[in-house]
Structure 1
Amino acid sequence: MIKLLKILFKRYINKFGFELKPTGQGYFCPYTVVPLAKEKNMSLCEYLETYNEGGVGKRRDYIVEKLFSILPKSISSILEIGTGTGMYLEKLYPHYTPKKYEVYETALSWVQYLKEEYKDLKQIQYHSADGKTLWQTKTESIDLVTSHGVFVYLPLISSVQYLDEMYRACTKSGYIVFDCFTDENFSLPTVNDWLKEEHEYRFPVLIPVKIINAYALKNNLELVSKFEVNYHASFSTYYILKKL
């Protein structure tokens, strides 16, 4: 009966151009993958990478090692957009031991998981995420503002809106780090590779390189480095920008 009511309600709101979706945009939830990781005596990240759950691939360690080699040795405050499973929190926090690590995540199930997993770390602050702003973070208060695998699926305008917020939250001489798919690295053969990809994902959103360059120029952001990393059927480009 409840299932039928949900179907009828969904059809009703569809008539007015609305769609019923769960909070957040995750492609798996902790209730299914966390128990499986525990069964095999693995950390969640180890399990996700070993079994390629959701097609995550083995890319996390490569990314963080690149960041560690480029970013300053000492960072006292970090903000992460889309913390999700905590894959990057798991590496960034112990490496830098910041005084605060701010988390913005729209998937409430993952927020609850992170709160339980890191309950002894009082430096981690969990904020209510609206999917477009960092409204609970003070201006120029964060040394490293970062996101991983977020701008690859957000609408272009939403990504730029987030960039505005990352810029606002970042301290002078602080760093903004994100990855995205760019128009320069997406061709018709690339699209065909995605169409053949086993997980049948259709989420890629491209950001024109000229927009990133223009944004950096307008806001006096120095391109410290950029690198590419495998992402499903292609690769994403990481940008490391310094606020001057």
Structure 2
Amino acid sequence: MSVLSAARDGVNRALRPFGVQMVRGHSDDPAIQPFLSARRTLAAARRAGVSVEDHIDRYSAAAGATAETVDALLRLADLGEHVERVCEIGPGSGRYAARVTAATHPDAYEIYETAGDWLPRLRSLPNVVVRPADGHTLSATATGSVDLAHAHKVFVYIPLVVTVGYLDEMARVVRPGGIVAFDVVNENCLDAATTKNWVASGATLYGMISRTWLLDRLAQRGLSLLGSHFVPLSGGRTELLVFRRA
């Protein structure tokens, strides 16, 4: 059994009481990590009598985490009530997309999602444009064409080199004055209690990136930090970072 398979099996054992399971997306690329099964997640939410957003929040973060994240993004970005185009990497269940769409009413909402079982649900979103996802790039999105490029609970799980590639792509596709937003685990997220908890639990699923290095790299690509907000994550937290393109 591979290390990835063993890790996935361990995560699934921990998630079994919640009625969900992690599965691979439709790509065989090793850089694309496991995803939540749409069928099992939707069924578990129905059994619990709650929305998919609430169901995922309860086991992967904290109640209300999705709404809190989007509220923080919108407050920091100050996008207004209408934008022309949004691009999201890894929308999954669509819980962030639904809230961003309701608040900003974009003419087009581009998505890159490698987990094909979630696509039928995602296609029901207003003005959604499903882009071909290779797990590395935003190749179908024109340079300087979007008002907001964002990702949530994505860069926490994928390899650093893939994250960096996606960040370069986000900087490329956002137009001048546009917003780039995403969350990562960095040194500000790892206080003594969190570190102790993750070591004790063997939380190998999460990846970390240097905040200082990240800010310097994105500054070189014309992105300036507007602000940040800590977001709950199972056993710890991530930091939502919001940038504006010069």
Q: Same fold (TM over 0.5)?
A: yes
TM-score band (shorter)? 0.7 to 0.9
Q: For 2:217, which of 215, 225, 234 is the aligned residue? A: 215
Per-residue deviation, 1:175: 0.5
Within 2, Cα distance between the matches of 1:237 and 1:224? 13
The alignment covers a number of residue pairs equal to 217
**Alpha-carbon distance, 1:41 to partner:** 4.4
Cα deviation, residue 109, structure 1: 0.8
| Residue of structure 1 equivalent to 2:184 | 180
User: Is the counterpart of residue 164 in structure 1 residue 168 in structure 2?
Assistant: yes
The one-letter amino acid of 2:62's match is G
Instruction: Provide the C-alpha distance between the structure 2 equivalents of 1:40 and 1:209, rounded to a whole number of angstroms.
Output: 38
Larger radius of gyration: 1
Superimposed CA distance per residue, residues 121-178 of structure 1 (whole angstroms, 9 cap, x where no aligned partner): 3x10011211110011111110000000111112111111101100111011101001
Q: Percent identity?
A: 24
Give secondary structure in 1 for the equivalent of 2:155: coil
Counterpart among 39, 53, 56 of residue 61 in structure 2: 56
Residues 136-147 of structure 1 correspond to what in structure 2 (within 5 A)? Answer: 136-147=140-151
Distance 1:152 1:36 in 2: 24
The AA in structure 2 aligned to 1:235 is R
Task: Decide whether aligned partners of structure 1 residues 133 and 220 sit closer, same or farther in structure 2, where only a CA change above 3 A counts.
Answer: same
**1:32 counterpart = 2:40:** yes
Secondary structure in 2 matching 1:84: coil
Conserved? CA contact 2:90–2:151, under 8 Å? yes
Residue 92 of structure 1: how far off its partner (Å): 0.7
Q: Deviation of residue 196 (structure 1)?
A: 4.2
Alignment-mate amino acid for residue 159 of structure 2 = P
Q: Is contact 1:82–1:105 with CA below 8 Å preserved after alignment?
A: yes
Measured in 2, the distance between the counterparts of 1:185 and 1:40 equals: 31
Q: Does 1:76 align with 2:84?
A: yes
CA contact (8 A) 2:194 2:236 kept: yes
Taking the aligned partners of 1:27 and 1:60, their CA distance within structure 2 comes to 17
Unaligned runs of 5+ in 1: 1-6, 11-20
Determine which of 99, 108, 121 is the counterpart of 1:113: 121
Name the structure 1 match of 2:112.
104
For 2:176 and 2:141, how far apart are their aligned partners in 1?
15
- Whichever residue aligns with residue 204 of structure 2, its letter is R
2 CA distance for matches of 1:134 and 1:124? 15
C-alpha contact (below 8 Å) 1:184/1:208 kept by paired residues: no
- Distance of aligned partners of 1:26 and 1:87 in 2 relative to their CA distance in 1, 3 Å threshold: farther
175 and 147 in structure 1: CA distance in 2 versus 1, 3 angstrom threshold: same
Q: TM-score, normalization: structure 1?
A: 0.81
Residue-by-residue CA offset, 1:202-222 (whole Å, 9 max, x unaligned) = 211111122212113212221
- 2:227 counterpart letter in structure 1: S
Q: Paired residue for 1:14?
A: none
| Structure 2, unaligned runs of 5 or more | 3-22, 26-31
1:88 is the counterpart of 2:88: no
CA distance in 2, matches of 1:104, 1:44: 20
| Aligned-residue RMSD, C-alpha | 2.2
Q: Which has the higher contact order (CA 8 A, sep 6+)?
A: 2
4+ residue runs of structure 1 moved beyond 4 angstroms?
none
